[in-house]
Amino acid sequence: MKTVCVIPARYASTRLPGKVLTNLCGHPMVWWVYQNVCKVKAFDEVYIAADDERVCNVCEDFGANVLMTSKNCSCLIDRLYQVSQVIEADYYIAVNGDEPLLEPEVMAEVLPDFVEMEKPIVRGLAREFTNPAEVIDPGNMKMAIGQGGYCLYRSRSPIPYPQTTTDFAYKKYVGVELFNKKALEFYVSTPATELEKIEDIGALRFLEYGIPIHYTIVKSKSLSVDTYKDLEYVKKILMQQEGKALQ
């Protein structure tokens, strides 16, 4: 089984332009993600998928394999498809370039123990929310997961609604997703769907067309950096981690 990990590193972020190049403890944010990804022994190859020469130059300077992808990709799935056209693999794993706290051992849990080439395979990671404020943030994608770990729906709104009880944990998308080539080809050859456009969540295209998405629940402290507040929090954690490493 050949696995290729791709770090989509988009310069044109809406809320924090150029955030993947933001300095975190002496290194750009994407450097931290790359270092963690390279520790996952199950990933055979690692690439950074850039959309801008500035990102490309910085990543090449610290020794990463970089592929230039279009600025017009609607989401990371489009970007992965472009990578799949030049790099052959059984599975393509996307690790968000704005999650520098993602642990290597957590990323590896997205991998299945089988190879499937004939039908689309989509998998991902999720964790339980630990901060109530995160639940109402539309930047954090929530999901309802049914029996067997299969996703029923993903939303920017808190789901499920606590009509009869609050004795449950909301679940959050973690920035690791896996696709086989069949899934990527399906995505780019199929029109965008209504729910996908309403929520602005590309993965809903699979669900609307009846393609299952499996999520593994993991324990992780990862946080996607979408605001300056997130940035300060991640800086604090990295400084603590670096301090421990120096002791």
pLDDT in tens, 139-167: 899 999 999 999 999 999 999 999 999 99
pLDDT in tens, 2-50: 999 999 998 877 777 889 999 999 999 999 999 999 999 999 999 999 9
Q: What is the DSSP string of 205-221?
A: HHHHTT--EEEEE----
Checking if the pLDDT of 174 tops 60, the result is yes
Q: What is the pLDDT of residue 198?
A: 97
Checking if the pLDDT of 245 tops 70, the result is no
Distances (CA, A) of 52 to 60, 61, 71, 207: 12, 14, 7, 31
Percent with pLDDT over 70 in the chain: 98
Q: What is the pLDDT of residue 244?
A: 61
Rounded Cα–Cα distance for residues 80 and 66 (Å): 13
Give the residue numbers spanning the domain of 89: 3-246
Give the domain CATH number at 143: 3.90.550.10
Checking if the pLDDT of 101 tops 60, the result is yes
Number of domains in the chain: 1
Predicted model pTM: 0.93
Rounded Cα–Cα distance for residues 1 and 94 (Å): 17
pLDDT in tens, 71-88: 888 889 999 999 999 999
Backbone angles phi, psi at 117, to 5 degrees: -110, -20
3-state secondary structure 5-24: EEEEECCCCCCCCCHHHCEE
Backbone angles phi, psi at 195, to 5 degrees: -65, -40
Buried b (16+ CB within 10 A) or exposed e, 115-150: eeeeebbbbbbbbebeeeeeeebeebbbbebeeeee
Q: What is the pLDDT of residue 53?
A: 95
226 is written with which tokens? Answer: 């979408």
C-alpha closest to that of 136 among 162, 167, 101, 118: 162
Percent with pLDDT over 90 in the chain: 83
Alpha helices in the chain (DSSP H): 29-37, 53-61, 76-84, 104-107, 132-135, 181-189, 194-199, 204-208, 228-246
Average pLDDT of the segment spanning 96-101: 94
Q: What is the pLDDT of residue 247?
A: 43
Show Cβ contacts of residue 51 under 8 Å, excluding neighbours closer than 6 positions. Answer: 9, 10, 11, 12, 68, 69, 70, 71, 73, 79
pLDDT in tens, 187-230: 999 999 999 999 999 999 999 999 999 999 999 988 889 888 88
The residue count for the chain: 247
